[in-house]
Amino acid sequence: MGSKVKGESKAAPGRTRRAVLFAGLGIFTVAAIAGQDEARRAWWLLPGVGKPREEGALDHAGARWTAASPANWRLADRPSDYRVDRIVVHVTQGSFASSVDAFKSPWHQASAHYIVGQDGHVEQMVRELDVAFHSGNRSMNERSVGIEHEGYVDRPQDFTDAMYAASARLAADVCHRYGIPVDRTHILGHSEVPGADHTDPGRHWDWDRYLRMVREQLAAVASGAGSPAT
């Protein structure tokens, strides 16, 4: 998370993505240009079209819910309107509690879908349906799930066994549900997002270990041996 805001660039005041798209082209023009697949996605961009929602519902069964401020994320209907094919790994540069408080503040202008604590606890703060302002890149925000990890990039001791295990279960669950490949193209660090000015998760984050654990969790699900969400 760090001290800098990692939200997304803003459109012109009062003009959302949906308004810009349909004011200029209209749903039928969009359908003709984009083809059937994009036409289906265009439907979910229409004002007033949305999926049923339940307040406090969880996407990952191993998480607990605390709502981020609505100022720190954008309503969407993913993956119907935006494909989800990336996971972005973050480090909070602060405590678990301070990160939860930051995402609850409307002045913070950033959030992530999840925060993973050093003790392995997972807090969900934005529904995966919606676009969290976590990477500083609008396109990446729209296509990704953001996972924060409690700690500091220059303190390898902050990346505990419990944290790696809980995050790997979470990431495997996300990959399973959206068909995301477990590799360094599709699971990347905040510092690798185009245009990023952050350094997290830093050189002490063990990518080899993490991806191996995610693959193991995913294989367990595929074999019927267990669920990554438990």
Question: pLDDT tens digits for the chain (230 residues)?
Answer: 653 445 664 433 333 444 444 444 454 444 454 466 666 666 555 665 677 888 889 999 999 999 999 999 999 999 999 999 999 999 999 999 999 999 999 999 999 999 999 999 999 999 999 999 999 999 999 999 999 999 999 999 999 999 999 999 999 999 999 999 999 999 999 999 999 899 999 999 999 999 999 999 999 987 876 655 55
Burial of 24 (0-12, 13-18, 19+ CB in 10 A): exposed
Distance CA 23, CA 37 (A): 21
Helix H or strand E segment including 74? strand 73-74
Q: What is the reported pLDDT for 224?
A: 75
Q: Please give the structure tokens belonging to residue 149.
A: 């990890």
State the Cα–Cα distance between residues 121 and 15, nearest whole angstrom: 38
Return the pLDDT at 5.
Answer: 47
Placement of tokens 């307040």 in the chain: 55
Pair of tokens at residue 17: 């993505």
For residue 229, what pLDDT is reported?
A: 53
What residues pair up with 63 in beta bridges, in sequence order?
122
Q: How far apart are CA 24 and CA 12, in angstroms?
A: 14
Report residue 151: phi and psi, to 5°.
145, -165
Q: What is the pLDDT of residue 152?
A: 98
Report the C-alpha gap between 219 and 146 in whole angstroms.
22
Extract the tokens encoding 173: 């669950």
Question: Could you tell me the two tokens for 89?
Answer: 């790994």
pLDDT value for 24: 47
| pLDDT score recorded for residue 49 | 62
Q: What are 187's strand-pairing partners?
A: 87
* Helix and strand totals (H; E) in the chain: 6, 8
Query: How far is it, in rounded angstroms, from Cα 34 to Cα 218?
Result: 33
CA 17 to chain centre: 19
